[in-house]
Amino acid sequence: MLLDVNETLKEQGFQQGTGSTIGRSGEQGTTIGTTSSRERRWTPPFSPPVLERVSSHGTSIVTASARQRPRKPGRLFSRGTSAQSTVEFALIAPVLVLLLVAIADFGRVFSAGVVVEAAARNAAEVVAEEYVGNPPGDQALTPTQRLAAPAPTSGPSSYYDDLAVKAARTVCVEVRSLPNTTYSSADGTCSSWPIIRVCIHDQTFNNVNNHCGQPITPGFDASPPAECTDFPPPGDPTWDPSMAGGGTGAGGEPSRYVEVRVCYPFTTILNLPIVPDRIVFQRTRTFTIACFQNPSPATGNNGSC
């Protein structure tokens, strides 16, 4: 800095010992005397501000007594601001946690509904394929001949009981990962949840012979709770085993089809007025029994496959 000042003084014609004074003036800086007739402000880089004052008695260069230092980085927040932020976070944190749990619960509910619906549909398909491979009727006939004939309306119901057990086990296996299920890996049954009912629609009129709405035994709940509203007792008109409503075959005849109903309760994490802690899924799915031939016009039977 002194070299810069000397260079400036030399440019202005200053000569030491010729009417010049260099001294200290309190806390305001240093005074250097010389002769000149102009005044300007000069601030070297990284040095205190310098003021040159030119008069008939000399040139005065006044420097600041205290160097202007760069500002040191301080705390981002003062104690008051930090405390305020802590209080605000404490107030909003429960709301955020509640929102996250609600989102997770919604995802669980949606996933459970998809699983139950897929289980009901797959069970109906399994039974329909079993029906085609081994249709009811006289075992002395071939499967094709039995499919061409009307479904029997009398005789033991063990055939339909076996189909219902296959459907129920299919449902239990597919929903076994969901909470509240009572799946037994030993025999593939569900002692209480979910509740399953099966109806084989292969009759031209209502006939209890085909297991519609009957309890599935053994290993399954025989009495559905009141919350399963889609499970009326056997003999209810909604358990009509006729083929009405199942579509039509290639020749315009009613098509045989399988109906599977599933009732499953899901327990949510939250228990709020807008979010119940228990949601009951009821799914009904049907699957048409494949028929690749027209009914026999000679018998006039529109109920054959």
Containing 213, the helix (H) or strand (E) segment is: none
pLDDT for res 295:
47
| pLDDT interval class at 19 (50, 70, 90) | very low
Quick one: average pLDDT of 244-273? 76
- The proportion of the chain whose per-residue pLDDT surpasses 70, expressed as a percent, equals 61
Containing 124, the helix (H) or strand (E) segment is: helix 79-133
- Angle CA(89)–CA(73)–CA(75) in degrees, nearest 5? 25
- Angle CA(202)–CA(203)–CA(208) in degrees, nearest 5? 105
| pLDDT interval class at 98 (50, 70, 90) | confident
CA dihedral 204, 209, 215, 220 (to 10 degrees): -100
Q: Rounded to whole angstroms, how far apart are CA atoms 92 and 21?
A: 70
Q: Rounded to whole angstroms, how far apart are CA atoms 148 and 236?
A: 29
Q: pLDDT tens, 189-228?
A: 999 999 999 988 887 655 555 678 888 988 898 888 889 9
Which position has the token pair 């009141």? Answer: 226
Look at residue 101 and tell me whether its pLDDT is greater than 80. yes
Q: State pTM to two decimals.
A: 0.66
pLDDT for res 80:
64
Number of H helices, E strands in the chain: 4, 10
CA dihedral 96, 101, 103, 107 (to 10 degrees): 170
End-to-end CA distance of the chain: 110
Strand-pair partners of 266: 279
Closest to 77 (Cα-Cα) out of 68, 85, 87, 67: 85
Closest to 225 (Cα-Cα) out of 193, 268, 267, 182: 193
* Stronger pLDDT, 74 or 105, i.e. the higher one: 105
Q: Quick one: angle between helices 158-174 and 79-133, nearest 10?
A: 160
Cβ(262)–Cβ(196) below 8 Å? yes
pLDDT for res 45:
54
Q: pLDDT tens, 260-271?
A: 999 999 998 887
pLDDT for res 58:
55
